[in-house]
Amino acid sequence: MIVDQEVVGSSPTSRPIDNTHKTKAHLISMPDEQRVANNSQTYVADADNFQFEALEQKNGQATVIRFRLEDPKYHAGDVLVVLSGSEIHFHGMIGQLADGWAIASDHRGSLLAATVQ
């Protein structure tokens, strides 16, 4: 039996997650060149000036957001970090980037309020 699994962590054997319940609509795919790339970049934003739209939320916290990102050096697979001082308010992967808009997700520890900013 083959089980579709997503691996969380740095090692392919660390903490596999069973994805058999997910449909393709829930999976965000990255371009092939990003999946095999050795390096990703981090886009850092200041929480006080960061404007976004909450696409999904959990307990009032934005877990999937859409925001403007027009800098061509960033790609799907890069990381978004939103900081308030030294406190991390959002830390997630950019899953889609097109026409100057990016979508990123943080399903574990977002502190961004799920309102349109």
Fold of the domain spanning 28-105: Elongation Factor Tu (Ef-tu); domain 3 (2.40.30)
Task: In whole angstroms, give the CA distance from residue 63 to residue 51.
Answer: 14
Q: Any idea what the Cα angle at residue 27 is, between residues 21 and 29, rounded to 5°?
A: 150
116 pLDDT tier (thresholds 50, 70, 90): low
pLDDT for 33 equals 52
Among the listed ranges 10-14, 50-54, 64-68, which one has the minimum average pLDDT value? 10-14
Task: In whole angstroms, give the CA distance from residue 88 to residue 110.
Answer: 8
pLDDT for 24 equals 45
- Side chain identity, residue 40: S
* Total Cβ atoms within 10 A of residue 22: 12
Q: What is the mean pLDDT of residues 71-79?
A: 94
Show me where the domains of the chain are located.
28-105
Structural tokens at position 85: 């001082």
Task: In whole angstroms, give the CA distance from residue 39 to residue 97.
Answer: 17
Question: Is 0.75 surpassed by the pTM of this model?
Answer: no
